Amino acid sequence: MKYVPVLGFEVHIELATKSKMFCGCPADHFGKSPNTQTCPVCLGLPGALPVPNSRAIEWCIKLGLALNCEVNLFSKFDRKNYFYPDLPKGYQISQYDLPFCKQGFLDLSSGKRIQITRVHMEEDTGKLQHAVINDGEKVTLVDFNRSGVPLVEVVTEPDFSNTQETSEFLKELQQIVRVLKISSADMEKGSMRLEANISVRPENQSGLPEYKVEIKNVNSFRFIKKAVEFEILRQTRILESGASPVQETRGFNESKGETFSQRTKEEADDYRYFPEPDIPPFSFEVDKIKEWQSQLPVLPIQNRLELMEKYGLSASNAYIISSNDTMRTIFIRAAEIGEIAAKTLADFLVNKKYGTRFPDSPSELIKLVKSANSVQSEESVLLPVVSEIIAQNPEAVASFKSGKQQSIGFLIGQVRRRLPDADPSATQKLIMDNLSGKSS
């Protein structure tokens, strides 16, 4: 029997606001000394009252609009109750039945549409740090600097068929977030965290399986791909044995390339959601939503289409150039000058022929491309002469291959006798490439 995956995602994105979601503490927590950016509100002390961050709510809704979501004109915050050391209040302020945004979609390059269930707002938790102190005692420490940082959660339907689709979706979402300038979406710093919901069912069955496994807090596209592939294989083997996988939350061990059990998966009822009593509900005017919609920048897919249609770029080159605002801007300005073909400029940028330092301006880019083309032109003149000199001097070639580097100087001299204006470094490179078998 053949089994197919049922796969969806929850993506958490930390917003780059100046202050936290419900208090005035700085939201930029990365690399700061533990527990130095806290107050009674984000520490969950008795009597402390939350005040919502209006900019975070605006950014959450703008992300929802960029993902083609419907905005709830009436919305509210809810308490999500669970007990874990990184949650100081014993509950998290989140959203349940009335999120800010719902029922959106994102289309993949294949034409497949991934449904977005919801885009909602919540507060981040603290961060657990495992350490060894004193005489080797193992402890778990809690840093509450991250507690209360505004966090947007994007939840998809289980519409993915394979890891190629998941990779494209996640990278596109990251680009959208960066174009909106609401987050760095830097996974190494935890600004974007990936959670996959995975189950497996027989190919000839429809509907959702009776269980779901969640893989939490993976911090790279490469690792989430490995985690999903491992989990699909693990669950398939369990089903083939006649058993059923346990509904649970699992982590991913990067060094082993395996998932591991963390805890039994909770259901929505286990969280005992109820409306947040300290924050009144929200009502939005249609005109305000239209205003936010009008403020959205050109999105990545639109940028790519422009590069492909207006400048004739390939899909892969358009994707790379559109993913970097600076590269895209300099490319377009250089292409509009018209001295060099757009495709040549794109190839130069994508293949990093500019070296280690990115060109500062369109004029510098054009200058670098012209210089590279000049070198290529010189090489086309040099190459046949180099090949002929090497063929005529087998003793010098044998001497070089036996370890006598000075033989290169003799060969360079022979080439320059034929071409006095030949560049010595270009000549040496071509000779070395020829002798090492790199020349075409």
pLDDT given for residue 174 in this prediction: 95
Is 379-440 a domain of CATH 1.10.3720.10? no
What is the pairing mode between strands 213-218 and 192-202? antiparallel
- Residue 81 · residue 272 · CB < 8 Å: yes
Task: Label the pairing between strands 248-253 and 213-218.
Answer: parallel
- What is the Cα–Cα distance from 268 to 266, expressed in whole angstroms? 7
* Short-list 191, 219, 185, 153, CA closest to 8: 153
Tens digits of per-residue pLDDT, 123-158?
Answer: 999 999 888 888 888 999 999 999 999 999 999 999
Question: What is the spatial distance between Cα 12 and Cα 118, in angstroms, rounded to a whole number?
Answer: 12
From the list 378, 383, 338, 328, the residue with the least C-alpha distance to 358 is 328
- pLDDT band, residue 376 (cuts 50/70/90): low
Q: What average pLDDT does the chain have?
A: 91
Residues 173-193: tens digit of each pLDDT? 999 999 999 999 999 999 999
Q: Provide mean pLDDT across the span 156-166.
A: 94
**What confidence score (pLDDT) does residue 416 get?**
80
**Mean pLDDT score, 329-343:** 92
The pLDDT value recorded for residue 370 is 83
Out of 109-113, 154-158, 170-174, least confident range? 109-113
Q: Does residue 295 carry a pLDDT above 60?
A: yes
pLDDT surpasses 60 at 31:
yes
This prediction has a pTM of 0.80
What is the number of residues in the chain?
Answer: 440
Burial class from Cβ neighbours inside 10 Å (0-12, 13-18, 19+) for residue 98 reads middle
Cβ atoms of 22 and 121 within 8 Å: the answer is: no
- The pLDDT-based confidence of 266 (bands split at 50, 70, 90) is low
Q: Stretch 17-42: mean pLDDT, rounded?
A: 96
pLDDT of 52: 97
Can you give the pLDDT at residue 268?
65
Q: Is it the case that residue 405 has pLDDT exceeding 80?
A: no
- What percentage of the chain carries pLDDT values higher than 90? 65
pLDDT digit string, tens, across residues 189-237: 999 999 999 999 998 888 889 899 999 989 899 999 999 999 999 999 9
Query: Can you tell me the distance from the alpha carbon of 43 to that of 33, in angstroms, rounded to the nearest whole number?
Result: 16
In this predicted structure, what is the pLDDT of residue 163?
92
pLDDT tens-digit profile of 4-18?
999 999 999 999 999
pLDDT of res. 294: 97
Average pLDDT over residues 355-366: 86
pLDDT exceeds 80 at position 280: yes
Residue 379 has pLDDT above 80, yes or no: no
369, 376, 380: which is closest to 344 by C-alpha?
Answer: 369
Q: Taking 70 as the threshold, does the pLDDT of residue 440 lie above it?
A: no
pLDDT value, residue 353: 75
Task: Identify each DSSP E strand in 62-188 by its residue range.
Answer: 70-71, 74-75, 78-81, 91-94, 101-107, 113-123, 127-133, 137-143, 150-156
Mean pLDDT calculated for residue range 52-81: 98
What is the crossing angle of helices 407-418 and 394-401, to 10°? 150
What is the per-residue pLDDT for 439?
A: 55
Of residues 156 and 355, more confidently modeled? 156
pLDDT band at 436 (very low <50, low <70, confident <90, very high): confident
- pLDDT given for residue 162 in this prediction: 92
Domain ranges of the chain: 3-294, 298-360, 379-440
Q: Which residues pair with 13 in a beta bridge?
A: 152, 192
Q: Considering only 40-54, 307-321, 367-381, 412-426, which range has the smallest mean pLDDT?
A: 367-381
Q: What is the pLDDT averaged over residues 286-314? A: 94
